[in-house]
């Protein structure tokens, strides 16, 4: 019994003095750089702040992979003493996670002065999150997605008039109607239920928009949109396409795909004329092309379904600066 117990015990490595480990990591001739790196990363969060600072400084002086590791630590363990070094690295390499550190921690004056340098991914969105409370900062709406624009306004305690709010909602719906596979735009929390018609707000961007418009006090716009989407839902429920779909013996995944296509078409048909960019007949032809593309890209759709977009309640959990 004792022998079996000893055999199954977890192997525990001994901790060397951290000063020694850091020296071995920094000394590229020590022959222990790789093992020292691994030990440092394993022990990092249990170390004193003075040792953590030494480690992050050492990693910032190393190669790209180690710098990236250091940037990730600096997001939560920032100290102003790193500002000059991080700025030098940014100007030399323009690395993505270095940008995240700058956007989150550098003085706002630096962001104002160098804002045009931050143009990867959602950099501009997070800069706006930092600067939006400054009423003199002008938000360039064209650099943001429609949902990011609403989130920036809400987080910055700004507001949007009802006309612009209405335009934004229906433009989001129009974007969904033109997506080559609209089911990819559904909230990841959406679960298909047979004979239960999905609605516009089951699409993640519509859900986000409604959430933040409510937060900003655009209640009348939200109420009017809810009434509109309910009408579209009734139209879909009464449609021959929907009735035919419910007669099919197909998987839940395929059912969701086909229902999303049916709904997106009727959302476009029901759009107020000012938001339409083509006739319903032209749209039908475009939709047929989209359906062909969806079939050709089915593997991409499957991957996307496993990595759905964040929802309003968990948007802060992504890996960006905030």
Measured CA angle at 120 (ends 115, 121), to 5 deg: 120
Cα of first residue to Cα of last residue in the chain, in angstroms, is 52
Residue entry with tokens 């020296």: 23
DSSP string for residues in 81-137: GGHHHHHHHHHHH--HHHHHHHHHHS-HHHHHHHGGG--STTHHHHHHHHHTTSTTP
Q: What is the C-alpha to C-alpha distance for residues 185 and 160, in angstroms, rounded to an integer?
A: 25
pLDDT digits (tens, 9 = 90+) for 281-321: 999 988 887 666 655 555 554 454 445 444 444 444 444 45
Q: What is the pTM of this model?
A: 0.81
Mean pLDDT in residue range 185-202: 89
3-state secondary structure of 267: helix
- What rounded mean pLDDT belongs to the chain? 88
Going by pLDDT thresholds of 50, 70 and 90, the confidence category of residue 4 is: low
- What's the token pair of residue 295? 């079939």
Closest Cα to residue 257, out of 176, 186, 171?
A: 186
Q: b/e string for 202-220 if b means 16 or more Cβ within 10 A? A: bbbbbbbbbbbbeebebee
Per-residue pLDDT for 148 more than 60?
yes
Are the C-beta atoms of 197 and 233 separated by less than 8 Å?
A: yes
CA distance 137 to 17: 49
Highest averaged pLDDT of the listed ranges 7-16, 46-55, 195-204:
46-55
């Amino acid at each position: 019994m004792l022998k079996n117990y000893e055999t199954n015990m977890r192997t525990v490595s001994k901790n060397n003095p951290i000063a020694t480990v850091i020296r071995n990591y920094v000394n590229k001739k020590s022959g222990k750089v790789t093992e020292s790196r691994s030990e440092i990363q394993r022990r990092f969060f249990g170390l004193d702040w003075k040792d953590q600072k030494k480690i992050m400084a050492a990693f910032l002086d190393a190669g790209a992979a180690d710098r990236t590791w250091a940037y990730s630590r600096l997001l939560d363990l920032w100290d102003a003493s790193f500002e000059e070094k991080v700025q030098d690295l940014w100007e030399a390499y323009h690395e993505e996670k270095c940008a995240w550190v700058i956007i989150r921690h550098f003085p706002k004056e630096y962001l104002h002065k160098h804002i045009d340098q931050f143009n990867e991914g959602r950099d501009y969105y997070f800069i706006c999150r930092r600067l939006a409370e400054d009423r003199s900062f002008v938000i360039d709406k064209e650099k943001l997605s429609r949902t990011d624009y609403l989130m920036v306004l809400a987080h910055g305690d700004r507001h949007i008039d009802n006309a612009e709010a209405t335009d934004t909602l229906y433009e989001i719906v129009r974007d969904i109607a033109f997506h080559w596979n609209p089911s990819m735009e559904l909230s990841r929390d959406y679960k298909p239920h047979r004979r239960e018609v999905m609605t516009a707000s089951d699409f993640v961007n519509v859900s986000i928009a409604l959430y933040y418009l409510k937060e900003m006090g655009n209640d009348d716009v939200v109420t009017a949109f809810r009434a509109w989407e309910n009408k579209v839902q009734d139209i879909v429920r009464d449609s021959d396409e929907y009735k035919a779909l419910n007669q099919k013996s197909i998987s839940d995944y395929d059912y969701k795909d086909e229902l999303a296509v049916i709904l997106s078409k009727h959302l476009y048909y029901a759009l107020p004329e000012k938001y339409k960019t083509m006739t319903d007949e032209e749209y039908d032809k475009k939709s047929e092309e989209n359906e062909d593309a969806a079939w050709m890209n089915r593997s991409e759709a499957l991957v996307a379904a496993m990595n759905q977009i964040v929802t309003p309640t968990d948007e802060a959990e992504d890996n960006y600066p905030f």
